[in-house]
Every structure is written in C-alpha cells, then in structure tokens.
Amino acid sequence: MTEPKRYVRNMRGYGANPPKADWPGGAHVAVSFVVNYEEGGENCVLHGDAASEAFLSEIVGAAPWPAKRHWNMESIYEYGARGGFWRLHRLFTEAGLPVTVYGVADALARSPDQVAAMKDAGWEIASHGLKWIDYRDHEEEAERADLTEAVRLHTEVVGERPKGLYVGRTSVNTVKLAAEEGGFTWISDTYDDDLPYWLDHDGQGREIDPQLVIPYTLDANDMRFATPQGFNSGDQFFAYLKDAFDTYCAEGQAGRPSMMSIGLHCRLVGRPGRVAALKRFVDYVKRHDKAWIARRIDIAEHWVANHPYQPHALRPSRMAREEFVARFGSIFEHSPWIAERAFNLELGPAHDSAGGLHNALARMFRSASEAERLGVLQAHPDLAGKLAQAKRLTEESTKEQASAGLDALTDAERAAFTELNDAYVAKFGFPFIIAVKDNTKASILDAFKRRIANDRDTEFAAACKQVERIAYLRLKDILPQ
C-alpha cells in the first residue's frame, strides 16, 4: 500500500501556549544585535565567481555582470569593511553592548584587523558560510563541501570553530546540512518564530541529533534600506525598531517574553546618515531595565539549560499506519475506519497536537455518509445503561462516565436514566450522547430532557457534535494542546 504524503513544514510551532522564556533577571525581551560581515565574501570574479554581486547595496535592483568586475559594487562593499565596520564597532563598544557577528569565512580571511577587533570586544563570531553567494541551485554535496570548508577556514582565521551558523542565501538543504554537521550549538536560517526551538528528525529515518534553532529576522533589518518598499531614512528605521521593541516589551510584561533580533550590515547601516538612527535605538533599549541584550550563543546556552530538548512521546504525523490506527482507532467509539481514513490525509506537524489530530479525524467523520455516522452514534453506549452495569464499556467510556459520577447512581437516578435511554433510542434510533467531562449528573439529566424533544435531524446533528467533542477530550488526555 502506498504511504500517504506527509507535509514537512511546521505551521503550528509552539501554538497558543509557548514556553515561558525565563530570561535572566526576569527580562521581558531578549535583544540580539547581529552584524553581518560579508565584505570580501560577495560574488566577484576575483573570488572565482561567474559574475559580480547584485544583492544588498546602494544600487537597488542591480544585475550581475557575467565574467566582469563591477567596480562600483566592489567599492560599496569595500566601504563596509573600511568605514562602516569601524563605525559600528565604536558604537557598540562605547555602549558596552554584546554583539553576534555573522562572518562569511572568505570575508573574515580578508579582514584580519576587523577579526581582531571583534575578538577584543568579546563579540561572538558565528559562521555566515564560506562565501556570500546564493545556494538555491547548488547540489547537496557541493553545499556540504562548502559548509565543511567554511568551518575549517573560520577556525583557522578566528582561532576557534564557530558555534553558530546563518547562511542566509539558502537552499532547501541548508538547515538539514547544518544539523547533520553536528558542531553548531545554534543555527538561525529560519524566520518562523519569536523564540528558540528544537528541530528534530525523530521518526523520519535520519540519524541527526536535535538542533537548536534561534530564528532570525528580515524585517527589523537594515537590508530594507537596499530593497524596494524599504526604509528611506533613518527615522523610518528607528521608528520600526522602536515599535517592535515596545511590542515585545509589552508582551513580556504580560507574561509572554520572547526575543528580538536586529540585523545589521556594515555597508548599509554603517553609513553616517543611518547609524545615527541605530544609535538612538541602542540608547532607547539601554534605558529599559527589563531588556536582556545578549549574544546569540548566550541565548542558546540559556535555552539549552532552561528548555532542554524533550522527545515527543507521540507524533501522529510520523507514525506508521498500523501504529496510528491502533493508537487512535478508538477515539471515535468503536470506529477505527475514521483513523484509517485520517491516516491517508496530508498530515504534518500541525496534526501532532490534540486540536490538530482532532481536526483530521473529525474531517473524516464529517465527510462520511449518514449511514456511517449513524453507525458511530450507535457504537456509543447508553449512559448508565446495562453495559455500564455489566462493566463492558470501553476503557475511555468507563473513565468518562465515572468522571460524572454515573458509576455511582442511586436507584432513583438509575431508573430515570433507564427510562430516558429507552425513550430516546426508541425515538431517534441511537443512544443519547453527551461529553460527560463537561457536565455533572444534574446537567446531563437536564440536557437529556431538553434534547429528547428535538426533531430527528436536529438531534442527529447535536449528537454528532457531541461525538466530536468526546473525541477531542480523549485526545487532550494523550497529546499536547
């Protein structure tokens, strides 16, 4: 039998209830300033590339020049190394703030003075890949070879191997290759969250250790000075950073602390007309005593210590068919065909929660024929009926009825349930169904008396909704919310 398609993208993340970051000092937000050092690692025929650079410069919309040097482009990048870097270095060292550098290995090798200044300032120097080039069309083995060489050259130039990685111009294989490499404490080639998280490949046939991901940003980033519909002035840059920071602080004060990344480039924000805006923001952040300004390695080590990787006990989207049906076949009472059909859907990480898997199962119930849905209703036992007395209920039904005290009825209560059960089944052809976990004996009896007056179509719909509710409550007991 052909295995169904699985959706590898994670559209859920932490969901509605992310973990509490517990930043040092009770900070409301962790702030990560990142200086991208790419100058000397960009596309250039002098570097053996096929064409000149065309990305992130004052020449917005530039095109590559095949087999030619682009003198203007080269000199713009050179400004970043010769002028912009030192301006940023002075700003952050005078402010006493920690910085993470995304360092392109080739660029670092061509800038020994800048590397020494980074080290003297205590900045973290992470890897930004071997060259500042686009990897989207690279073969996997070629990209792996470049990553290996990036680590080797970085270690040789800096004096220690990089603990973090951000490639930036990635392929679909970049993150997987970084995790496979095995030596990075953190990687940042995602933009999908406001908190660090663990990426694993458990159950996907790969022997790769869990990898900590610290998501990066393209919005709170000076690259928008060099893109259409970007920042036209320093005031716009400052206003955007301030609004983002204020939002993070307000969310943190409300009990949901997270992380803000600020992306910087020596040749962009290092220009005098822009760096003043960055300085205003730095001064603004420093005035807040509930902002933890940290390098990315510091954030990573905090996360490892306070939120270590926890393997998932159940991953529905990564289960084999037999395991899936065996585990979830009884969620809809005595109706494993619902789980069998749900398994064939395009399941993914979003279905590994109670709500997500419930949606998949409920879709199959809702799309079934009326006769099939009637069979599900008829599979449910009478409340406090003969099966309960004979202790022949499913484990789930036994626990559910007991939770509402239906296993300890008085003679009068049992007689009332029996009378209502008989009348209800005679009228509708299926037993009365209600999510007992939401109710008490009194509210169940009240609902019983009200619903028995419904017409058949209305009550069929009401019973189906209760079946779905019961299934959700059962899933809540075994899967994360």
The residue-averaged pLDDT of 193-204 equals: 82
* Confidence check: pLDDT of 477 > 80: yes
Q: Is the pLDDT of residue 324 over 60?
A: yes
What share of the chain in percent tops pLDDT 90?
71
Over the stretch 251-288, which tens digit does the pLDDT of each residue have?
999 999 999 999 999 999 999 999 999 999 999 999 99
Name the nearest CA neighbour of 259 among 206, 304, 214.
214
Phi (first) and psi of residue 34, to 5 degrees: -120, 125
Q: How far apart are CA 176 and CA 140, in angstroms?
A: 10
Give the per-residue pLDDT at 403: 59
Which residues is 260 bridged to in the sheet? 31
One-letter amino acid for residue 245 of the chain:
F
Model confidence at 387, pLDDT cuts 50, 70, 90, reads very low
Mean pLDDT of the chain: 90
Q: With contact defined as beta carbons under 8 Å apart, do 114 and 41 qualify? A: no
Q: Helices (DSSP H) in 31-129: which residue ranges?
A: 71-79, 85-95, 105-109, 112-120
> What's the pTM value of the predicted model, to 2 decimals?
0.89
302 is catalytic: no
- Reply yes or no on whether the pLDDT at 323 is more than 60: yes
Cβ(377)–Cβ(430) below 8 Å: yes
27-79 pLDDT, tens digit each: 999 999 999 999 998 878 888 877 878 777 777 777 878 888 888 878 888 99
Give CA torsion, residues 56, 186, 315, 470, to 10 deg.
Answer: -80
The per-residue pLDDT for 338 is: 97
Residue 441: pLDDT band (50, 70, 90) is confident
Residue 4, pLDDT > 90, answer no
pLDDT at 63: 80
| Whole-number pLDDT of residue 165 | 98
Q: Which amino acid is at 76?
A: I
At residue 193, does pLDDT exceed 80?
yes
Q: What is the pLDDT of residues 354-365, one digit of tens each?
A: 999 999 999 999
Catalytic residue among 28, 128, 358, 380: 380
Instruction: Point out which residues pair with 373 in neighbouring strands.
Output: none
